[in-house]
Amino acid sequence: MSFASGSPKSEEVADWTGRGTPVCDLGSLSPGDLHGVMGPRNIERTTVPSPEDGMGAGLRVEGIRKSFGGLHVFSDVSFTVAPGEVLGIIGPNGAGKTTLINVACGMLRPSAGRVLLEDEDITGRPIHATSRRGVIRSFQQTNTFRNATVRENISRAVRFSRSESNAWKKISPLVEAFGLEPYLAVQSDKLPYGLQKMLGLILVCAASPKVLLLDEPAAGLERRERPRIDVFVDHVRREFGCAVVIVEHDMELVRRLCPRILVLDSGRVLAEGDPAEVLSRKDVIDAYLGAVDEEAR
């Protein structure tokens, strides 16, 4: 294993993370090395931090409006998500869920409203600045470095992680849990789709996120693969004390993982609260769930 600092190897890396100095190079690792440096084989169970633990106030979105020219996507959207908490965001196609994530992470400027991280106003800051502060998003599609091997993908992500000489150690249990170890030398776009998607999540995780915004993490995964998302979310909450926002159409997954959900529909927040309660509301069923149930059949 070699550790070395250096300059970014490609623009691709800088674009993906928006981050600064590489901290280590694990590109020469072989699969056999992994057990040595990764520590425990199983994901360790630690206590999920709460806001009272001094982890800050998480992410707060206040009165956000977003329009593209004459197209008003949504207005007056507010939510908070605390460290260690998981918030689900659901709604029909085109409701603005991805746009909301884009605004929250700084990829898009809101037309009105504020985004606060740990009570600091980060509205309109560019994504490289918010990601440096620990607000990290994943994408609906896969987001790996397609022509690089799995090992090189992880190595690049670790190099650009926020501070973490131990980033690799923190994410390594996921490499194992998702069964990626045998594929370390395989080019990422040659992986089965489900593994590409999990690799994408691992890369996101290497950034030691404080707030993770997951855009349809289960999309494209087979039903039997979806529990990996549960493992992932559990891990980031415990390992990083992450506040997690999950946009999803898989209602089973949402019910399992999200103690609180928000429904976006027709440019506004239609409902927010406990999933059992919200998902049984007639207006929510009429606006959205009927369509989801049809799709699931």
Q: Which residues bind ligand ATP (CB under 6 A)?
A: 68, 71, 73, 91, 93-99
Measured in whole angstroms, how far is the alpha carbon of residue 126 from the centre of its chain?
18
Shortest approach of ligand ATP to residue 73 CB, angstroms?
4
Which residue number, 157 or 245, has a Cβ lying nearer to ligand ATP? 245
For residues 84 and 96, which CB has a smaller minimum distance to ligand ATP in the complex? 96
Contact of residue 71 among ligand ATP, Mg ion, none (CB under 5-8 Å per partner type): ligand ATP
Shortest distance (Å) from residue 71 CB to ligand ATP: 6
Indicate the residue among 97 and 170 with the shorter CB distance to Mg ion: 97
- Report the nearest approach of ligand ATP to the CB of residue 95 (Å): 4
Whether the CB-CB separation of 149 and 184 falls below 8 Å is answered with yes
Taking the complex as a whole, the smallest distance from the CB of residue 286 to ligand ATP amounts, in Å, to 17
Closer CB to Mg ion, 38 or 89, in the complex: 89
Q: How far is CA 282 from CA 158, 251, 267, 270, 294, in A?
A: 46, 16, 18, 11, 16
3-state helix, strand, coil in the chain (%, to 5): 40, 20, 40
Q: Could you give the 3-state DSSP secondary structure of residue 278?
A: helix
| Whole-angstrom distance, CA of residue 4 vs CA of residue 16 | 21
Q: Contact, 187 vs 45, CB < 8 A? A: no
From ligand ATP, Mg ion, none, which one binds at residue 245 (CB under 5 to 8 Å depending on kind)?
none
Q: Which residues bind Mg ion (CB under 5 A)?
A: 97-98
